Structure 1
């Protein structure tokens, strides 16, 4: 018996350090932020500052630290064209107020850049393997995508969404409804909220939180982030402003929405948790892009 115990101990010591030190976290959250050409530098700064402020909110901080494991893991990247994804912060453990403050500082100090096209599918494709190389074991895996336009590059978003859902990654969306044509002349997308709901999001309790403008983005991201961290799912009438004390954050993280809801099972097929087909078609962004380029320049983009 002693010999067997000794062999087990030797095998454990032979494991890589990462295998021995993997920590359990309540949530592995990837934040994916649109920096396509429809977003100007001021709007990009508003987005970035919205996330910085959200991670400084006392309710959200207490929710992060108040779950079963008392910690979450977060990564942050910005995206545009199908081949452009900029990883600003790789997997980071948020297990204390000091760790959260350091994450805010790194995010605030990172440079801001703008690219060209809008590839939500490229962002999802980039994010999927991030979870596989995460050094943490997560109870939940969530991909948080924000943007101000529909997919127009890099393949159909529904196909890459399906790939993510097969890996049990929940996708939530934050469409920014800015109500104006973008700098290239593309018309405003008044149906972007419906597009995100039907074509981008998926998985158990996935949801869309709408920002009615870039100025509204800080409010929207605070509300959305709290729902994701606390796993309270979609609540149309939920208002973070009603949570006046840090105690509420702990309660939300520990008890969820507080009401009866369907329990997610280990063998659930996440690909079944999608909304019905979008009436305009989930390739509407690609079609609008082709039509625009054809009318304006007499060519279609590659």
Structure 2
């Protein structure tokens, strides 16, 4: 009698486990080679032409055959991407939520959602808040990702929110890689800094295999974005130049943006 009672109890627990356990397919749907946050600068320093080029660059990247092939060549053949826009510390907005990309149809639909959203602009530049918001998106995604990457594009230094190094270092400590697309289409002017690419290298990017792809000419914009997305999906780094300068630039002041903003109001 006791033995049969144990058998019935074990059978009941087994049935309960089957009912409560998530289906294997549902769990598999959360497994991806890469979870990628595309974080795009929409501050007023970006003119509407630059914003339109930026949008077109990301849309074309996700439409391209090379990107489709890179996804298919991954271990699982699927990635998850979300596209968000940022400006000052209180201004981050998800434009396209987390989307699994595993075939041409899903990629084309994702690109169309990026391209069809109206442009907007906002005040200030808080790279640190963009990183923090991106880390939160990754943490709340529910994805099981082999790699987690934040793709930050912008045309100026951090000038609001907490220090960018603090946000960068906390993200990297969580195993997240931050890559950068410094936009350098204009001569440095009001609230800009020279050598933005070096600022991104020293102050913004970090983590395993982190890299930047600077944009210095308008006709490079779309191709640079496509190259960067392709490298991130394929888990590659850009080729290093065969010839390097003997005199490397001095380390960037990672508070340059904050100091510019302070000086603006003290004069």
Q: Scaled by the length of structure 2, what TM-score is found?
A: 0.88
Match of 1:192 among 196, 199, 212: 196
Partner of 2:263: 291
Whether 1:201 aligns to 2:199 is no
- In the TM superposition, residue 92 of structure 1 has moved relative to its aligned partner by 0.2
Q: C-alpha deviations, 1:232-255, integer Å up to 9, x for none?
A: 1242359xxxxxxxxxxxxxxxxx
Partner of 1:210: 214
After the TM superposition, which segments of 4 or more aligned residues of structure 1 sit over 4 Å from their partners?
A: 1-6, 15-20
Query: Is the contact made by 2:89 and 2:125 (CA closer than 8 Å) also made in structure 1?
Result: yes
Query: Is the contact made by 2:188 and 2:194 (CA closer than 8 Å) also made in structure 1?
Result: no
Partner of 1:119: 126
Q: C-alpha deviations, 1:64-89, integer Å up to 9, x for none?
A: 12211010000000000001001101
How far apart in 1 are the matches of 2:40 and 2:57?
11
Match of 1:69 among 76, 91, 94: 76
Match of 1:223 among 200, 224, 227: 227
Rg: which structure is higher?
Answer: 2
Whether 1:42 aligns to 2:14 is no
Distance of aligned partners of 1:139 and 1:235 in 2 relative to their CA distance in 1, 3 Å threshold: same
The runs of 5 or more residues in structure 2 that have no matched partner are: 1-6, 243-249
How far apart in 2 are the matches of 1:76 and 1:84?
14
Partner of 1:267: none
> Per the alignment, in what secondary structure is the counterpart of residue 216 of structure 1?
helix
How far apart in 2 are the matches of 1:12 and 1:204?
39
Whether 1:144 aligns to 2:157 is no
How far apart in 2 are the matches of 1:135 and 1:27?
13
- In the TM superposition, residue 2 of structure 1 has moved relative to its aligned partner by 8.9
Distance of aligned partners of 1:55 and 1:117 in 2 relative to their CA distance in 1, 3 Å threshold: same
Q: C-alpha deviations, 1:130-171, integer Å up to 9, x for none?
A: 112213210000000000001000110010111211221100
Distance of aligned partners of 1:132 and 1:8 in 2 relative to their CA distance in 1, 3 Å threshold: farther
How far apart in 2 are the matches of 1:39 and 1:138?
32
> Per the alignment, in what secondary structure is the counterpart of residue 153 of structure 1?
coil
The runs of 5 or more residues in structure 1 that have no matched partner are: 239-277, 296-302
Partner of 2:240: 236
Partner of 2:4: none
Distance of aligned partners of 1:2 and 1:19 in 2 relative to their CA distance in 1, 3 Å threshold: farther
Partner of 2:16: 10
Whether 1:104 aligns to 2:76 is no
> Per the alignment, in what secondary structure is the counterpart of residue 140 of structure 1?
strand
How far apart in 1 are the matches of 2:216 and 2:94?
27
Aligned-residue Cα RMSD (Å) equals 2.4
> Per the alignment, in what secondary structure is the counterpart of residue 38 of structure 1?
coil
Kindly tell me the number of residue pairs found equivalent between the two proteins.
254
Q: C-alpha deviations, 1:36-94, integer Å up to 9, x for none?
A: 01011121111000001111111111101221101000000000000100110110000
